[in-house]
Amino acid sequence: MGAVRTFLLLFVFLQFPLFFNSSLFAAEGKVLVFGRVHDDPVRSIKDRQEFIDYLAAKLTPLGITAGRILVVEKMHLLAQALKEGKVDLFHDSLVPTLVLSKRTGSVPILRQWKYGEAEYAGIIVVKKNSGIKTLADLRGKVIAFDEPHSTSASVLPRMLLEEKKLKTVEIKTPGTVKPDVVGYVYGTDGNATNVLITGRADAAATIHREIERLKPEIRESLQVIGQTMSVPRQLMAVRKDLDPKIINAVKEILISMEKDPTGQGVLTRQQNTTKFDDIPPGSLAQFKSIDKFVFSSLGKEVDSW
């Protein structure tokens, strides 16, 4: 009996993606579905339900009756949903948006301001007493990144290091960094700064906002030795075959949200979004260079995202 039960549990767990197909996507139709890649569906849905409800309500004249959020743990699952037309729009930072765009043809339509910032940049920090003064000093050292597809705390810093001709190699075991390369590890809890502070790395990739949140004495002990290019804070994208009328309406509604008192409150509660605006035309070239780096330099690593 116990063995049968264990087998059934294992069988069901392995069929997990199919459950999404069979149960969660089954009731689509006039429902606007918002996609999200995250390992915490509860937090993801609670944070965004009000936002998607607002958007769906505004789209009622176009036949939209409700808004739902689909949370998946992996990017390839969201890509699958986008391809099958079961997710209508999503938002994410630049790199995941570019990856999904590349794989599914989804189209970034708006830039999303957060914390009053249209753009942000990644930075590389070290401890002031570490003796590391420049990026070049990182040779033979270990740098900590956030999760692999993090735009500001992983991809852009790696891109920066490559631009500085610094080769990065993932470190599986401590103390094995060769002198001519920069070893890297991923912050297991998604926060590379912690890895640096706790002495498990010599440098960390992060953003200014994260540094500012640290205790003053810790913050004062750190030093920025490099900064990446600035990129849009976040992007809103739609699946490639979404009705253009809906796309236009979505753009219109999101851009005007900041002028609507109700919409303004919804934006603030939705991860401190300030507003939505058009993507600056000059950003496209930047997107191409990042896209090239991701798919050429990171290679198969992207497939596991």
Partner 1 sequence: MNRQLRVSLKLKIFFSFGLFYLAAVGTITYLTIRSQKNLLLAQMGERAKAGINLMELSVSGALYKLDTFRLETIAREAKALPNVDYAYIFDNQGRIVGDFHADQRELFSTFTDELGKRIIRSNETVVDTQERKGILDISKPVKLGHERLGGIRLGFDLKPIEHEIAEATYRAVAVASVILILGLIVIFVITIRMIKPLEQLTLAAKRIEEGDLEYRVRIERDDEIGSLATAFDEMSERLMQREKELKESQNTLRRADRLSSLGLLTAGLAHEIRNPLVAIRTFTQLLPERYNDAEFRDGFQGLALKEVDRICGLINDLLSFARPSRPKVIQENMNDVVDGTIRILESEAKEKNVEIARDFTAGLPAVWIDREQMKQVFMNLILNAIQAMKRGGSISIATRPHSKDQSGQAGQFVQVEIQDTGMGIPEENLDHIFDPFFTNKDEGSGLGLSISHQIVQEHGGYITVESQAGVGTSFFVNIPVGKTARPPVNGQVSANEASLSHR
String of contacts with partner 1 for each residue 48-87, x by CB under 8 A: -x---x------------xxxx-x-x--------------
Q: What is the DSSP string of 140-187?
A: TSEEEESSTT-IIIIIHHHHHHHHTT--EEE-SSTT---TTSEEEEE-
Shortest separation between residue 9's beta carbon and partner 1, angstroms = 5
Considering only residues 45, 62, 169, 247, which one is a binding residue for partner 1 as defined by CB under 8 A? 45
Distance (Å, whole) CA 73 – CA 211: 27
Long-range Cβ contacts of 194-199 (<8 Å, 24+ apart)? 195/144, 196/125, 196/126, 196/127, 196/144, 196/222
Task: List CB contacts of 289: < 8 A, sequence separation 6 or more.
Answer: none
- Pick the closer one to partner 1 by CB: 19 or 115: 19
Beta-bridge partner residues of 126: 203, 223
String of contacts with partner 1 for each residue 25-44, x by CB under 8 A: ---------------xxx--
Number of residues that bind partner 1 (CB under 8 A): 22
Distance (Å, whole) CA 138 – CA 133: 9
Piece of 46-54, 96-104, 149-157, 209-217 that binds partner 1 (CB under 8 A): 46-54
- Pick the closer one to partner 1 by CB: 41 or 85: 41
Structure tokens given for 232: 């849009």
Is position 5 an interface residue for partner 1 (rule: CB under 8 A)?
Answer: yes
Distance (Å, whole) CA 40 – CA 223: 33
Q: Are strands 66-72 and 31-37 parallel, antiparallel or unpaired?
A: parallel
Is position 1 an interface residue for partner 1 (rule: CB under 8 A)?
Answer: yes
- Pick the closer one to partner 1 by CB: 125 or 266: 266
- Pick the closer one to partner 1 by CB: 30 or 128: 30
Is position 218 an interface residue for partner 1 (rule: CB under 8 A)?
Answer: no
Which stretches of the chain bind partner 1, using CB under 8 A? 1, 5, 8-9, 12-13, 16, 19, 23, 40-42, 45-46, 49, 53, 66-69, 71, 73
